[in-house]
Amino acid sequence: MNAGLNHCTMPRHVALIMDGNGRWAAKRKLPRLEGHRAGAEALRAIVQECPKLDVRYLTVFAFSTENWRRDPAEVNELMALMRDYADSEINQLQENGVRVEFIGDLSRLDNGVAAQLETITRETRSGDRLRLTVAVNYGARAEITAALRHLAARIDKGDLDPDDINESVMQTHLMTADLPDPDLIIRTSGELRLSNFLLWQSAYSEFEFVDTLWPDFTPEVLRDILIRYPNRSRRFGANGK
Ligand code: IPE
Ligand code: IPE
Ligand code: MG
């Protein structure tokens, strides 16, 4: 048996719920912000690793619609971190052929943050080695609700017949309309839940839950998970082989 990486059966689209920054910091008696900073470093290394593993799409959960419930000071720090990270990473992302896009409602973000996220999207548009989608102020229920509102408005205008709504029409109204569904969703820090991430898109995703806290999630941890991935049998409801 070849125990090495089998590129034919690697997941094309990996999604990551990057959880555990706060606990990582608490273990070191550091402020939570230091955990988020270390988490941003961890993401940099993972983004560089993905093209080497034939992962073409990487989608990461950075801030949920529910994360506004946190202490406002932490929310502000997270926003500033995202803005500075986007600013400092542009060159490296361009050099590595990474195209960056965002899903989520960016209209609630501060102008400076939203502008910087738009800049990184524009400046990395031609990247063709990895499509990195960052979920910011993203919630799957909000996404599905917005899709329904859009469809209802089209029906109201006489633009769409309700009988013509099917799964692919729904899919084209989601924020991930031009992305394939994630093959593999990884959540760090030992939590066994989706926390409102990609509810529609994860219908047939494979899952991996690891105890590693996000700042400790290295390319080696990712490789170990991907090496085991080809052992899975994805049946999509059909007979097993
Ligand atoms: C993930 O780490 C980052 C965000 C949700 C923004 P957490 O901040 O949730 O870390 P824990 O879960 O408190 O350890
Ligand atoms: C999920 O983590 C959201 C992100 C990783 C951005 P949370 O830490 O917010 O999730 P819960 O609250 O533990 O479910
Ligand atoms: Mg958490």
Q: What DSSP letter does each residue of 80-140 carry, written as one string? A: HHHHHHHHHHHHHHHHTTEEEEEES-GGGS-HHHHHHHHHHHHHTTT--SEEEEEEEEE-H
**For residue 51, how far is its CA from the centre of ligand 3 (angstroms)?**
27
Confidence tier at 2 by pLDDT (50, 70, 90): very low
Q: Ligand 1, residue 20: give the atom nearest the CA.
A: 14
Nearest residue to 184 via CA among 158, 205, 214: 205
Which residue minimizes the CA distance to atom 1 of ligand 1? 19
**For residue 187, how far is its CA from the centre of ligand 2 (angstroms)?**
10
Which pLDDT belongs to residue 1? Answer: 41
Which residue minimizes the CA distance to atom 14 of ligand 2? 195
Which residue minimizes the CA distance to atom 3 of ligand 2? 64
- pLDDT (tens digit per residue) in 55-72: 999 999 999 999 999 999
C-alpha span between 222 and 225 (Å, rounded): 5
How far, CA to CA in Å, does 208 sit from each of 26, 83, 101, 117, 185?
A: 24, 29, 24, 29, 6
Which pLDDT belongs to residue 6? Answer: 55
19 CB within 6 A, ligand 1:
yes
C-alpha span between 179 and 150 (Å, rounded): 19
- Pick the ligand that lies closest to the CA of residue 26: 1
**For residue 158, how far is its CA from the centre of ligand 2 (angstroms)?**
40
- pTM for the whole structure: 0.96
Q: Mapping DSSP to helix (H, G, I), strand (E, B) and coil, where does residue 206 land?
A: strand
22 CB within 6 A, ligand 1:
yes
Whether 87 shows a pLDDT value over 90: the answer reads: yes
